[in-house]
Amino acid sequence: MANLRQLYRQSQPRFLGLPYGFTLLEVMVALAVMSIVLVSVYRMHSQSLAMHTAVRFYTQAPMLAKSKMVEIEALTSSAFPADSGDFGEEFPGYSWQASTADINSEILGEVAEDLKRIDIKVSLNEDQFVYNLRTYRFERE
């Protein structure tokens, strides 16, 4: 029995009067390091979200603009709209504007009278991101 008590006492840690645990300074340094790391991670995450939104817009906007351009080009020249709208529930936040204009050019001469300029503007979240597409259509009347 005495041997068991001696073994138990020997297995117990001895601190010899040394303090144990963390000091206030160590805790404050650890919190400062953690806050710097967390702020950096948060900033990197918000930048990656912004880049994802921009990349998604500049991938989808050309396709949406081209589809709207095809719809407009299918119309006759007298029916070219100067119109705007959105792309429905499939593309929330996306909107488009179409405009047409006659071409005036001294270099082209009379040929310019038969040209129409068609502009399509696709935007996201009220012009946060904007993509423009322009084409020309030749029509003899």
Cα–Cα distance between 125 and 129 in angstroms, integer? 7
pLDDT of residue 18: 57
Phi, psi of 95 (to 5 degrees): -135, 165
Mean pLDDT, consecutive 10-residue stretches, the chain (141 aa), reads 65 59 87 95 93 93 92 72 85 90 78 82 91 85 60
Question: Beta 94-102 vs 115-124: how paired, if at all?
Answer: antiparallel
pTM: 0.65
Q: Are 98 and 83 in contact (CB under 8 A)?
A: yes
